[in-house]
């Protein structure tokens, strides 16, 4: 039983690492593929690729709060790792892995893409016409939290 639990927790951390890798690869691709200050339309009026740098949090809130955001993300990562450690349900462990990967992906940007350490900006590049621009890390956080909530509700029934 213990080895199964350990494998599940390792899988969650591995999933998080995979999300970070995929997030960083897609951001690097977007920076090379999409010309600065331009966009590539994929579905007219609905979806385009447009690279922006966000120094704030979700929806560009807290612009310029770089060091605070880095600290908040580090605390969130620690809390997520502790939650993975104490998790007993497979779905909880894996969905937390998605959230972990998304948080870490954006943390990498904050630490490496800016004028100074922890002053970085997150690269966003997926631009739906009806929603703020986002990236794969944001998607991983959103999907992870949504699945966590869904499974939590379903497991109570």
Residue 114 is part of which domain span? 2-156
Please tell me the pTM assigned to this model: 0.88
Angle at 96 between CA 91 and CA 100, to 5 degrees: 155
Cα–Cα distances in angstroms (integers) from residue 22 to residues 41, 98, 149, in the given order? 22, 12, 24
pLDDT at 157: 62
Catalytic residues: 124, 138
pLDDT at 55: 73
pLDDT at 37: 86
Assess contact for 63 and 100: CB atoms under 8 A: no
The pLDDT tens digits for 54-77 are 876 665 555 666 677 788 889 999
Overall domain count for the chain: 1
SS3 content of the chain, % helix, strand, coil (to 5): 65, 15, 25
The pLDDT tens digits for 18-65 are 999 999 999 999 999 999 889 999 999 999 999 998 876 665 555 666
């Amino acid at each position: 039983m213990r080895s199964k639990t350990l494998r599940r927790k390792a899988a969650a951390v591995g999933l998080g690492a995979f999300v970070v890798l995929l997030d960083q690869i897609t951001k690097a691709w977007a920076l090379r593929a999409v010309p600065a200050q331009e966009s590539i339309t994929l579905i007219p009026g609905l979806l385009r690729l447009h690279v922006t740098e966000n120094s704030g949090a979700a929806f560009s809130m807290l612009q310029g709060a770089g060091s605070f955001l880095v600290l908040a993300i580090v605390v969130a990562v620690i809390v997520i790792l502790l939650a993975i450690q104490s998790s007993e349900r497979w779905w909880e462990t894996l969905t937390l892995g998605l959230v972990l990967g998304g948080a870490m992906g954006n943390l990498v940007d904050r630490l490496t893409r800016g004028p100074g350490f922890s002053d970085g900006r997150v690269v966003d590049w997926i631009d739906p016409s009806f929603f703020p621009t986002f990236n794969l890390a944001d998607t991983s956080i959103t999907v992870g939290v949504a699945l966590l909530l869904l499974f939590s509700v379903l497991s109570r029934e």
